[in-house]
Structure 1
Amino acid sequence: MLKSAWWVALGSVFGSLLRWILTTTNDQNRLGTLIANLLGIALASFFLVFTERHASEAIRHFLLPGFCGGLTTFSAVMAITLHEASGTLSIPAVSGARYLLVTVVLSLCTVAICIPSARRLIPVKK
């Protein structure tokens, strides 16, 4: 259990650093957060299939809850949504709801595309 926690912690360091780079190198923090989340979801889809077929439990812990968990961030999505929705039913509220909707829809589309693609591209372990 402790060994798994170390793998998760190590992976999350790298995922969090990549998320930080993506959000600080974009003029709009919301765009960087969206990119980080979609990239994390795409990678997690491929890593899920890869680790099912080829990797040890330690690698799975490093890649999925570690790296991808550190890269993606639902809390930042909610913070952006709530920040933009600080007005009651004003334009910022619509903007916040639109950002949340775009994030959820694009995330579901990413999974719908990436998992079948990963299953076709990553060979089954023999």
Structure 2
Amino acid sequence: MKKLIYYIPLLLLFSACYENQVDCESFKEGTFIWEQESGGKKFKTEFTRIGNLQIEKFENEIDSSRVEWINDCEWRIIPINPDSNADSRAYLFKILNTSKDSYTFEFKQSGREQVYSGTATKIK
């Protein structure tokens, strides 16, 4: 029992060193790349967030959305000029963890249950 008492502070110190660090503020603005695989094919999306605007480039298509921050780590993307009613739905994003130049996130389309995830890398 005495040995266990000596190990508890070491375990607490170790776990504090490996805790996920989340610095969402560093990723509110900038240019990012997100790569995903679907159907055996790799897709790349480049997007830039400035203030309440996000401009996204995917397969030579450029799209603009309004950004509404819920808190430092969660935001909503709302299409500015959707082509259809289905395209007008907002997307909800949440940063799960961060590193020096990237963040892992999850997102879903408003009104849908399916949750997707990815990692965005800041390039500017």
TM-score, normalised with respect to structure 1: 0.25
Greater RCO, 1 or 2 (C-alpha within 8 Å, sep 6+): 1
Q: TM-score, normalised by structure 2?
A: 0.25
Structure exhibiting the larger radius of gyration computed from Cα positions: 2
Structure number with higher helix proportion = 1
Which of the pair is proportionally richer in strand?
A: 2
